[in-house]
Amino acid sequence: MPTGLLDRQAGCWDPIDNGRVVRVLAEAGGLAVLDTDGDGLADDAGKLAALGIDEAELAKLGELYEPGASLWRVSTAHFSSMDCNWPTKCSKSPCKKPPEPPKCPNPPCKPLPSCPDSGSSTIGIQDQTLGESVAVVGTAQKLHYRSDRVVGRKEAYSIDIPLTDAEVPPGLRRINYALWLAGRTFGGSVACPEPGGCGPNLVEQLTWDGKDVLGRTLQGQQQAKLGVAYFYESVYMAPADQPKAFGAVGTGVTAVPTRERYEVGTISELAVGTFNALPQGLGGWTLELHHTYDPVGKVLYLGDGGKREAMAMEAAIGTVAGGKPCYAGRRGSGQGGVPADARRDRVRPGRQPVHRLRRARAQGRGRRDHQDGGGQRRVRLVGGRRPGHPSGVQVHCRRGGERRRQPARRGRD
C-alpha cells in the first residue's frame, strides 16, 4: 500500500514505508489469524513479528473485525495528513491532452491592412472596423474614431476555447475549462456520456465584461490564464517494487476501476481586452496628437486611429549611426548617411550573432566598447569626450517580437 504524508511547509507529499493489505482469515483463542502477503494462508509468528504485529494487535483485530474482512495497515510516526493510494492510469490509453488554445485570441496577432484614409470613412475590411475623421475648427488637428475602440465591440473580450479537435480520444468522460482573469474565475464543464461521448471540434466561447473582481472597468489588454482538463476512465496500477512506492510509476495495470477520473490538462497564458477610447472624454473619439500605450499587449494606440504593435515587428537590430546596419571591419568607420562634421563619436551596431557595439572616431578607427555575448538585452553606449556629444542617440532593439527604445542622455551615452 503506497503511503505518503503531507509536508505543509514544503507543500508536497513525502513517501513513507509502504503499508499492507491485510485479510483476517479466522479467530483463534481471541487472536486474529492474518494473511499479510495475499497467498491465502495464515502467516506464522516470525512473519508477523517482522512487520511489528504483536499479540496485542492481533487481539484488537480479532475484536474489531470478523473473519473474511480485509483492511489497510500502515505504520506512521506521527498523525499528519496521510494518503494511501495506488497509482492510476487511463483505462484506454493514451491519455491525450486537450488541444492548445490560440497563442493570441481576437483580435489577430498581426495587424490587418485597412483602406487608406481618403478624407471620408476608413473601412477595415479584414478586421471589420469603421473609422471617421473630423477637423477641429481653428486648429490643424483632427479627431478620429475607430469602431474597435468602443465598449460595444466585444471581439477582443471573447475567447474561443477549443475543447476537442478532429479526433476525440476514447474513454473521455468530462471536460472542464476555466479562465482566471482580473481576480475572477469563469468556466464550465461539458459531460461526455457513453456511448457517443463528446463530438469533434467542440469549441466553447467565453466573453469577459471588462471588469475586475471589484467591479472596476479595466483599460487595455489584461493577462489571463486558461485551463482545460480532460477526465478519463481510469484503473489502478500495481505499485512499484520499492519500499516507498508512493508517487512512483506503477509496474502493471489492474482491472480495478478508480473512484476518481484520471485528469490530464493544460494551462496557458493569453491577453484579453483592448483599448477603450471613452475614458479620453471625447465620446469615443481621440485627438491625433494623443497616444496611449498598452504595456500588457505592447501596443501603442495612436490618436489618428492607427496602432503600432511590438508583435508585428521583425527580430532585428537597426542602425544607430552610419548608413549600413552591418559590421564593416574591426577598424571600419560605419560609412554612409552621416555628414563629415557629425562623424566624431558615433555608435553603430555590430554584426550578428556577435552583438557588438563600436565607437567610430573621426579618424575612422574604431574600438570595441561592449559585447553582450548574445544573451543580454541591456547594452551601454559610450559617448564622446566633450559634454553634449553625442546627444539624442536612440537604440532600437527588436528581440522576440518586443521593441525596446533607449534614448541616450545628453553628455553621457
Q: How many whole angstroms separate alpha carbon 68 and alpha carbon 53? A: 19
Q: How many whole angstroms separate alpha carbon 230 and alpha carbon 61? A: 42
**To 10 degrees, the CA torsion angle through 54, 55, 61, 66?**
130
Q: How many whole angstroms separate alpha carbon 224 and alpha carbon 158? A: 12
- Measuring CA to CA, which residue among 293, 294, 250, 313 is closest to residue 110? 313
Phi, psi of 340 (to 5 degrees): -60, -40
Q: Which own/partner pairs from 70-75 qualify as long-range (CB within 8 Å, at least 24 positions apart)?
A: 70/21, 70/22, 70/23, 70/24, 71/21, 71/22, 71/24, 72/1, 72/19, 72/20, 72/21, 72/22, 73/1, 73/19, 73/20, 73/21, 73/22, 73/36, 74/1, 74/3, 74/19, 74/20, 75/17, 75/19
Other C-beta atoms lying within 10 Å of the C-beta of residue 4:
20
Burial 280-307 (b: 16+ CB within 10 A, else e): beeebbbbbeeebebeebbbbbbbbbbb
- Measuring CA to CA, which residue among 377, 391, 383, 389 is closest to residue 317? 377
- Measuring CA to CA, which residue among 220, 217, 399 is closest to residue 299? 220
**To 10 degrees, the CA torsion angle through 351, 355, 361, 362?**
30
Phi, psi of 7 (to 5 degrees): -95, 105
pLDDT digit of tens for each residue in the chain (413 aa)? 888 888 888 888 888 888 888 999 998 888 999 998 888 889 888 888 888 888 899 999 988 999 999 998 888 887 778 888 888 888 776 788 898 876 655 544 555 555 555 556 788 777 788 889 999 999 989 999 999 888 888 888 999 999 999 888 888 889 999 999 999 999 999 998 877 778 899 999 999 999 999 999 899 899 999 999 999 888 888 888 888 888 888 888 887 888 888 888 999 998 899 899 988 889 999 999 999 999 988 889 999 888 888 876 665 544 444 444 443 344 444 444 433 333 444 444 444 444 454 554 544 444 444 444 444 444 444 444 444 444 444 444 444 444 444 444 444 43
